[in-house]
Amino acid sequence: MLAEGTAFAEIYSGSYIFTSALLERGFLMELIESFPEPVFVTQPLLPDINKVMVKVRQIWESKQLTNNGPMVRKLEEELGSYLKVMNLSLFSNGTIALQIACRILKLSGEVITTPFTFAATPHALVWSNLKPVFCDVENETLNMDPDCIEKLITPGTSAIMPVHVYGNPCAVEKIQKIADRYALKVIYDAAHAFGVEVAGKPIGAFGDISMFSLHATKVYHSVEGGALTFNHPFLKEEADMLRNFGIKNEENIIEPGTNGKMNELQAAIGLLLLEIIDEEIENRRKVANQYRAQLMDIPGLTFFRDIEGVKHNYAYFPIRIDCKEFGHSRDELFEELKKFNIFTRKYFYPLCSRFMCYRNLPAADEGSLPVAEKAAGEILVLPMHGRMGADVIDTICRIIRVYSSHGR
């Protein structure tokens, strides 16, 4: 790998003959060695193994592995205060949490959502017998465009399910106004938005319910897991019952519930990671800033900047590639990075509206989601986690820069 700060002029000095042929991209790319180990888009945050063993021992001694045990109850309390919300419940994963959210709000018919998301968002709707109606996104945030919502509302619409994509907050005030005007419920898929705040208000305080995924690929996790935050304690009571088969007490099963319970081992990991999450987010902020500094002036490459008044969590580092300006398409860059053992992700390509199972929905028509379609073809998520070395980020940026300059 090239040493930090090595300028191309230095590479060409000494015994190298400075000819235009040497400026060929192939030559420059060959000077950068591939990573010996794969660099994946993320790496799970892991607690100290010795601390894990202490917690496991406590669980063994308690002889309670699941069913709302002490670890789960403690994590609910601690997460509630970390996320600054009054009503929070934990689940085995975020997808089942979304389904339970739909059920307790008694949704029916159509739900307006975004196609620019992970498959779980529309899938959770369909598993709840609801019809996803895909709404286009804003070009700046790639979140649901509030100006496109109203025209999709029909007498059959019961709710809006926006997603805070990459942890960037949706236009929460505008969305709430529309929901209020049409008496619609709002469930935020906040899978990416752990710990995010808008003007001092926690992200989980918007809408009727928010869902946080606690999957191992997320900023904060419990291996697998999910959390719902509710705007009313009554909703928490309902959700707690539904995650446990609808059991109210030993002799009263009052709802056809499901099994959505988080277990004690998951909660133990969650408790330990809560001790180091602030440090992880701070480290991610530094990674994001290094990426920004080193990718800043590459034509045809753009990225998100911090939004004033928003506390970010730096969950992902997406870049957007304008093929003409950059000189290569997003897909070409994706393939080029693979040659260096760097595995980026095309989140979110294909759009959910393009999935085989959703092609029968109206929004799958050509041209009805122009902003989302364009973004899906241009976005690439670079490796991001709090333990990435500055040299790794430097090499990734260098490869992108050299690859781009050749194309222009």
Q: Which residues form the interface with ligand PLP (CB under 6 A)?
A: 93-95, 117-118, 120-121, 163, 189, 191-192, 213, 215, 226
Nearer to ligand PLP, 163 or 241 (CB): 163
How many other C-beta atoms can be found within 10 angstroms of the C-beta atom of residue 55? 18
Q: What distance in Å separates the CA atoms of residue 3 and residue 38, rounded to the nearest whole number? A: 20
Shortest distance, position 119 Cβ to ligand PLP, whole Å: 8
Q: Which residue has the tokens 């997320």?
A: 218
- Look up residue 259 and give its DSSP letter: B
Shortest distance, position 352 Cβ to ligand PLP, whole Å: 10
Nearer to ligand PLP, 118 or 220 (CB): 118
Count of residues in the chain: 408
DSSP H or E run through 319: strand 317-321
Shortest distance, position 395 Cβ to ligand PLP, whole Å: 27
Q: What distance in Å separates the CA atoms of residue 278 and residue 290, rounded to the nearest whole number? A: 19
| CB closest to ligand PLP, residue no | 94
| 289: nearest Cα among 281, 298, 300 | 281
**Which are the contacts of 87, defined by CB distance < 8 A and separation ≥ 6?**
80, 229, 230, 231, 232, 233, 235, 236
Nearer to ligand PLP, 116 or 291 (CB): 116
Nearer to ligand PLP, 190 or 288 (CB): 190
Q: Coil, strand, or helix at residue 335?
A: helix
Nearer to ligand PLP, 120 or 319 (CB): 120
Nearer to ligand PLP, 28 or 384 (CB): 384
Shortest distance, position 118 Cβ to ligand PLP, whole Å: 4
Cβ-based burial of 143 (10 A; exposed 0-12, middle 13-18, buried ≥19): buried
| 333: nearest Cα among 406, 268, 385, 280 | 406
Nearer to ligand PLP, 162 or 327 (CB): 162
Shortest distance, position 302 Cβ to ligand PLP, whole Å: 22
Nearer to ligand PLP, 171 or 301 (CB): 171
Q: Which residue has the tokens 């000189």?
A: 327
Shortest distance, position 53 Cβ to ligand PLP, whole Å: 26
DSSP string, 117-131: S-THHHHHHHHTT-E
- Look up residue 343 and give its DSSP letter: E
Tokens of 374: 């364009």
Shortest distance, position 23 Cβ to ligand PLP, whole Å: 42
Shortest distance, position 130 Cβ to ligand PLP, whole Å: 15
